[in-house]
């Protein structure tokens, strides 16, 4: 899997979001990560489908929409129509996960599942054919700028191996929270191929250098049975 850099606009300047997306694009970002928070599932409020719709008009790269909301089914159509490419729901918030994922695909979008740091990967085994992306949270969701939780790292490898055993070599494994040039080494060695980074990219004095440093940090996965 080739490495994907997905800057999180949560740490961007919300007064100039269009410009912030363009800055990431000219610094060779692959996707734009959009954090949607409802004040219920996580203790923070951010943006909804209207902002995604406006961003989709100017973004040249895919919008990677991370729904940190309860009852995500209510809003899937809104985010699909707004122009999301990936729609990721939290496993802890989806009552009928397989139904939700197949709904996302029926809307013509890529289906993602996010797991909080303390959530085991077991339920993924029952939706292996329905998922395009697994988002492994490496902080508790809700805020940018938090500290990377090391204990989550083995879960990345477990998920990569689970999907490889099922012949799903093209699964995207995304990591979100506390990603910088140091933690990027750890998570890519564990099997992640999508790096979501908010504060590391948008607080950098030079956005090009920040993204380059994430690409340079990529490590091969030791003892991988199937080459990546
Ligand atoms: C946290 C969000 C993240 C956040 C990451 O709940 O899902 O996408 O923007 O921010 P950093 O990279 O600063 O940890
Ligand atoms: Zn996120």
Per-residue pLDDT tens for 100-153?
A: 999 999 999 999 999 999 999 999 999 999 999 999 999 999 999 999 999 999
What does the alpha-carbon distance between residue 20 and residue 81 come to, in Å, rounded to a whole number? 22
Ligand nearest to the CA of 203: 1
Kindly report the protein residue whose alpha carbon is nearest to atom 4 of ligand 1. Answer: 144
Closest by CA to 32, choosing from 168, 207, 209, is: 207
Which one is catalytic: 35, 38, 64, 130? 35
Q: Using a 6 Å CB cutoff, which residues line ligand 1? A: 8, 10-11, 33, 35, 66, 139, 141-142, 144-146, 176-179, 196-200
Residue-wise pLDDT tens digits, 1-45: 899 999 999 999 999 999 999 999 999 999 999 999 999 999 999
Q: Which of 13, 78, 176, 208 is catalytic?
A: 176
The Cα–Cα gap between 51 and 136 comes to 25
Sheet containing strand 63-68, strands side by side: 4-7, 194-197, 172-176, 133-137, 110-115, 86-90, 63-68, 32-37
Residue whose token pair is 């938090």: 146
Residue with structure tokens 């961007």? Answer: 12
On whether the CB atoms of residues 172 and 134 are closer than 8 A, the answer is yes
CA 6 to centroid of ligand 1, rounded, Å: 11
Predicted structure pTM score = 0.97
Confidence tier at 228 by pLDDT (50, 70, 90) = very low
Contact 121, 128 (CB under 8 A): no
Helical H segments across 27-152, by residue range? 49-58, 76-82, 97-106
Instruction: In whole angstroms, give the CA distance from residue 188 to residue 220.
Output: 7
Type and span of the H or E element at 69:
none
User: Relative to the CA of 198, which ligand 1 atom is closest?
Assistant: 12
Using the mean position of ligand 2's atoms as its centre, give its distance from the Cα of residue 143 in Å: 9
Q: What's residue 1's pLDDT?
A: 83
Q: Is 110 helix (H, G, I), strand (E, B) or coil?
A: strand
Return the DSSP state at 117. Answer: T
223 has pLDDT over 90: no
For residue 30, indicate whether it is catalytic: no
Active site residue 13: no
- d(CA 93, CA 114) in angstroms, rounded, equals 10
Task: From 5, 7, 8, 145, give the residue whose CB has the most ligand 1 atoms within 8 Å, as the site to mutate.
Answer: 8
For residue 218, the SS3 value is coil
Tokens of 146: 């938090």
Distance CA 52, CA 87 (A): 11
């Amino acid at each position: 899997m080739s490495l994907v850099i997905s800057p999180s606009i949560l740490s961007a300047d919300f007064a100039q979001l269009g410009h912030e997306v363009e800055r990431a694009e000219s610094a060779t970002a692959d996707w734009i990560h959009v954090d949607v928070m409802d004040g219920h599932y996580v203790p923070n409020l951010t943006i909804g489908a209207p902002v995604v719709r406006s961003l989709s008009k100017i973004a040249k790269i895919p919008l990677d929409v991370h729904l940190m909301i309860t009852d995500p089914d209510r809003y899937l159509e809104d985010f699909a129509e707004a122009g999301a490419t990936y729609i990721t729901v939290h496993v802890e918030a989806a009552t009928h996960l397989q139904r939700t994922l197949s709904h996302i695909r029926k809307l013509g979008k890529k289906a993602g599942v996010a797991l909080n740091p303390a959530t085991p990967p077991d339920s993924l085994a029952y939706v292996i054919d329905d998922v395009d992306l697994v988002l492994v949270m490496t902080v508790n969701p809700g805020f940018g700028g938090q500290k990377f939780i090391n204990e989550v790292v083995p879960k990345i490898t477990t998920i990569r191996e689970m999907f490889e055993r099922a012949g799903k070599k093209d699964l995207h494994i995304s990591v979100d929270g506390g990603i910088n040039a140091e933690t990027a080494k750890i998570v890519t060695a564990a099997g992640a191929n999508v790096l979501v980074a908010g504060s590391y990219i948008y607080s950098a004095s030079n956005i090009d250098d920040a993204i380059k440093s994430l690409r340079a940090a990529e490590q091969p996965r030791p003892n991988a049975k199937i080459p990546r």
